[in-house]
Amino acid sequence: MADELSAVFARMSGLLLSEETVATALGLVSALALDTVPGAVGAGVSVIDERGRRSSGSTDARVERADALQYELDEGPCLAATAGRQVVRIDDLAVDRRWPRWADAVAALGVRAVLSAPMVGGDLALGAVKVYADRPGVFDAQSERRLSMFGAQAAILVANVQTHERALRLSEGLRQAIGSRDVVSTAKGVLMARHRVTEETAFSMLVGRCGEGAGTMPEVARAVVDSAVRRRR
């Protein structure tokens, strides 16, 4: 099994260097999970973070609906796998009644067996990788070990991509903040030269325009700078 999974992990290591969005990465994680566990007919990832509970990268609509029912009913194997940080296996949904409302709800979808493994990055539970089957009894102890190992590697991918996404958002936020600061400083200079006032008075003038409903500070400052550019033409 280790030899079989080594190729999958190698592919994931390559993806870590090239994928730029969490959604794309999770789609690849799901596809790899579907290929990794024999008997699976659908796969997906449940992400649980500060934004709530949601599915991403599902291989088909049935997986999306089965996941959505877990979130709506607040019960199910993926939520349990994430909370308990351990693999959850359901051999036959018609027999296993640990989550009866969810089991009854997904019966119409043709889901008969489920295997879910947590994705844990450090001390943080990121969610769970899951595979669904349309026949009972298709998953076994080897399937558990395989998905568990896969989930651990998937967690590394997901955690790193999420970190990359957060870094990009932070960089953009810093860029905008610096840009806003620069345009405000330029606008103050324009007003100081135009009205022969101090820096403090120029800033008060900008604040006053904001209070009059002219816009946010960056918007007001940009308008002042643009007006100065037009006067020079």
pLDDT at position 170 over 60: no
Q: Tell which of 164, 182, 202 closes a domain.
A: 164
pLDDT above 70 as % of the chain: 82
Q: What is residue 190's predicted lDDT score, i.e. its pLDDT? A: 86
Which range of residues forms the domain containing residue 45?
2-164
Which of 164, 187, 207 is the last residue before a domain boundary?
164
* CATH number of the CATH domain containing 102: 3.30.450.40
Q: Does residue 193 register a pLDDT over 60? A: yes
> In this structure, are 123 and 143 located in the same domain?
yes
**Percent with pLDDT over 90 in the chain:** 41
Considering the domain architecture, whether residues 159 and 176 belong to the same structural domain is answered as no
Sequence-distant (6+) residues with CB within 8 A of 153 are 8, 9, 12
Judgement on whether residues 180 and 159 belong to the same structural domain of the protein = no
pTM of the model: 0.67
Q: How many domains does one find in the chain? A: 2
pLDDT bracket for residue 19 (50, 70, 90): very low
Question: 108, 131, 164 — which closes off a domain?
Answer: 164
Same domain, 123 and 185: no
74 and 91 co-located in one domain: yes
Look at residue 17 in the predicted model and tell me its pLDDT: 46
Measured CA to CA, the distance from residue 97 to residue 93 in angstroms comes to 7
- Domain shared by 143 and 192, yes or no: no
The two tokens of residue 68 are: 């959505």
* 91/105 same-domain check: yes
d(CA 99, CA 131): 17
Q: Do 53 and 138 share a domain, yes or no?
A: yes
Confidence class for position 80, pLDDT limits 50, 70, 90: very high
Please state the separation of Cα 47 from the chain's center in Å: 7
pLDDT at 103 over 60: yes
